[in-house]
């Protein structure tokens, strides 16, 4: 489908979904965003749903301003995927050992490594700039500097919620590795610190929603946020690179006879800010629950833990600020999912997937998400499908 345009106070709201299917609270959030004096455009992805602070599935383009809540608290959260030389025939009938080995190598939930994981442990993983990256931690907000040891040990860990590590098979029988994670607790604490700072600034006191507080250009608060924001985005990217290296190591050891090789990785943020130019203006584009889909750029759009995911290539649609959805998108809250579904429902909806099937992940049940095929269909003018993947192993936090 093409987009539907709804009126907004400062800019129209371009929606790649049926507005009638969007929750009232999410629509109100979007209408509030459209009132911001600095806004130059607002695009809404088909996986849109209500989010804390700002709407998930929104792409906000502003001039000389950025809203930290519109980035979200998991700064730099995103996806990585890699195609392997393995095929479905190489996989054993019982995948429980493979899942266990992945869980042993990559801490999940609030877990962390006993000692720091560094790129020099892995053949072929770039080490340039690693010391400089950690050296720049000295420049982040004083309020979270004391978390350095924890941040170092959480590098290369999954986290919880909707984060996952998967082994997938595409329609040709090729095996893929995929993971979803972000900047862990350090990104969350940096985000919460800066959201709190923004909400106290004088220019934000008249906003219709205090969660939409912004930093404006040429102020010390903006400079501090940009410093911490871009550092956390880099942390998230490094975190995924190290996890993928750990995952590849597991696969090499478990499939020694097959001698697996790996194609170049695809990696994309979906909670982040980028400096981009549209219609002759330099803008700060915030994607919360959206990926960049510039012409020819590869992206990853995952479904739920029992459905499947898509590797896509961007079509460069500037009406959407070169963006696409970041996943299927929730159609009910975590609490609603826990009330609605049982562990039996989870077992039924994840048949054929080696994964947790206990009450701790019922809120991630496929039924709590929108149908991924519908979400892909609604953005045919944003991306083209390169491959469809179906998970056979899913490790949740």
pLDDT tens-place string over residues 18-55? 999 999 999 999 999 999 999 999 999 999 999 988 99
Chain center to CA of 185: 15
Does residue 2 surpass a pLDDT of 90? no
The mean per-residue pLDDT over the stretch 347-367 comes to 96
Q: How far apart are CA 159 and CA 106, in angstroms?
A: 10
To the question of whether residue 304 is assigned a binding role by annotation, the answer is yes
The reported pLDDT for the residue numbered 132 is 94
Does residue 82 surpass a pLDDT of 90? yes
Residue 181 has a CB neighbour count (10 Å cut-off) of 28
pLDDT tens-place string over residues 249-294? 999 999 999 999 999 999 999 999 999 999 999 999 999 999 999 9
To the question of whether residue 262 is assigned a binding role by annotation, the answer is no
Does residue 57 surpass a pLDDT of 70? yes
Residues, the chain = 397
Question: Which residues are annotated as catalytic?
Answer: 326
To the question of whether residue 193 is assigned a binding role by annotation, the answer is no
Does residue 169 surpass a pLDDT of 70? yes
The reported pLDDT for the residue numbered 307 is 93
To the question of whether residue 335 is assigned a binding role by annotation, the answer is no
To the question of whether residue 204 is assigned a binding role by annotation, the answer is no
Of all residues in the chain, the percent with pLDDT exceeding 90 is 96
Does residue 1 surpass a pLDDT of 60? no
Tokens of 144: 């979270």
The reported pLDDT for the residue numbered 240 is 97
DSSP state of 270: S
To the question of whether residue 162 is assigned a binding role by annotation, the answer is yes
To the question of whether residue 328 is assigned a binding role by annotation, the answer is yes
Does residue 89 surpass a pLDDT of 80? yes
The owner of tokens 């929108």 is: 370
Q: What is the CATH number of domain 4-331+369-392?
A: 3.90.1860.10
Does residue 58 surpass a pLDDT of 60? yes
Q: How far apart are CA 15 and CA 53, in angstroms?
A: 19
To the question of whether residue 326 is assigned a binding role by annotation, the answer is yes
To the question of whether residue 183 is assigned a binding role by annotation, the answer is no
To the question of whether residue 163 is assigned a binding role by annotation, the answer is yes
To the question of whether residue 302 is assigned a binding role by annotation, the answer is yes
Q: How far apart are CA 211 and CA 325, in angstroms?
A: 23
The reported pLDDT for the residue numbered 176 is 98
The reported pLDDT for the residue numbered 52 is 87
Does residue 154 surpass a pLDDT of 90? yes
Of all residues in the chain, the percent with pLDDT exceeding 70 is 100
To the question of whether residue 227 is assigned a binding role by annotation, the answer is no
pTM confidence score: 0.95
Strand partners, 84: 262
Three-class HEC string of 38-75: CEEEEEEEEEEECCCCCCEEEEEEECCEECHHHCCCCC
With the C-alpha atoms ordered 96, 102, 107, 108, is the resulting torsion angle positive or negative?
Answer: negative
Query: What is the domain partition of the chain in residue ranges?
Result: 4-331+369-392
Instruction: Look at strands 309-314 and 383-396 and give their pairing.
Output: antiparallel
């Amino acid at each position: 489908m093409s987009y539907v345009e709804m009126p907004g106070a400062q800019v129209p709201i371009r929606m790649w979904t049926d507005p009638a299917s969007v929750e009232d609270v999410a629509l109100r959030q979007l209408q509030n965003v459209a009132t911001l004096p600095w806004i130059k455009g607002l695009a809404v992805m088909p996986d849109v749903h209500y989010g804390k602070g700002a709407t998930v599935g929104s792409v906000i383009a502003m001039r000389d301003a950025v809203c930290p809540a519109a980035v979200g608290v998991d700064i730099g959260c995103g996806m990585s995927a890699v195609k392997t030389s393995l095929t479905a025939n190489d996989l054993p009938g019982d995948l429980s050992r493979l899942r266990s080995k992945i869980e042993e190598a990559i801490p999940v939930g609030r877990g962390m490594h006993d000692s720091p994981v560094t790129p020099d442990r892995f053949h072929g993983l770039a080490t340039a700039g690693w010391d400089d990256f950690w050296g720049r931690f000295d420049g982040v907000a004083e309020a979270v500097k004391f978390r350095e040891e924890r941040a170092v040990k959480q590098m290369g860990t999954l986290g919880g919620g909707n984060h996952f590590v998967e082994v997938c098979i595409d329609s040709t029988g090729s095996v893929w590795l995929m993971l979803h994670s972000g900047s862990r607790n350090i990104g969350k604490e940096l985000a919460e610190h800066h959201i709190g700072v923004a909400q106290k600034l004088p220019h934000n006191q008249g906003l219709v929603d205090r969660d939409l507080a912004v930093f404006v250009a040429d102020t010390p608060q903006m400079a501090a946020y940009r410093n911490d924001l871009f550092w956390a985005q880099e942390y998230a990217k490094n975190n995924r690179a190290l996890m993928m290296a750990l995952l590849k190591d597991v696969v090499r050891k478990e499939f020694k006879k097959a001698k697996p090789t790996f194609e170049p990785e695809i990696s994309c943020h979906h909670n982040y800010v980028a400096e981009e130019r549209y219609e002759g203006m330099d803008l700060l584009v915030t994607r919360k629950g959206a990926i960049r889909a510039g012409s020819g750029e590869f992206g990853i759009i995952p479904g739920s833990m029992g459905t499947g995911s898509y590797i896509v290539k961007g079509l460069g649609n500037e009406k959407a600020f070169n963006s696409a959805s970041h996943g299927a998108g929730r159609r009910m809250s975590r609490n609603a999912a826990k009330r609605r579904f049982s562990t039996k429902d989870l077992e039924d909806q994840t048949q054929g997937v080696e994964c947790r099937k206990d009450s701790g992940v019922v809120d991630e049940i496929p039924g709590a998400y929108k149908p991924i095929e519908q979400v892909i269909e609604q953005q045919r003018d944003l991306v083209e499908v390169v491959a469809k993947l179906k998970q056979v192993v899913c490790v949740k936090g």
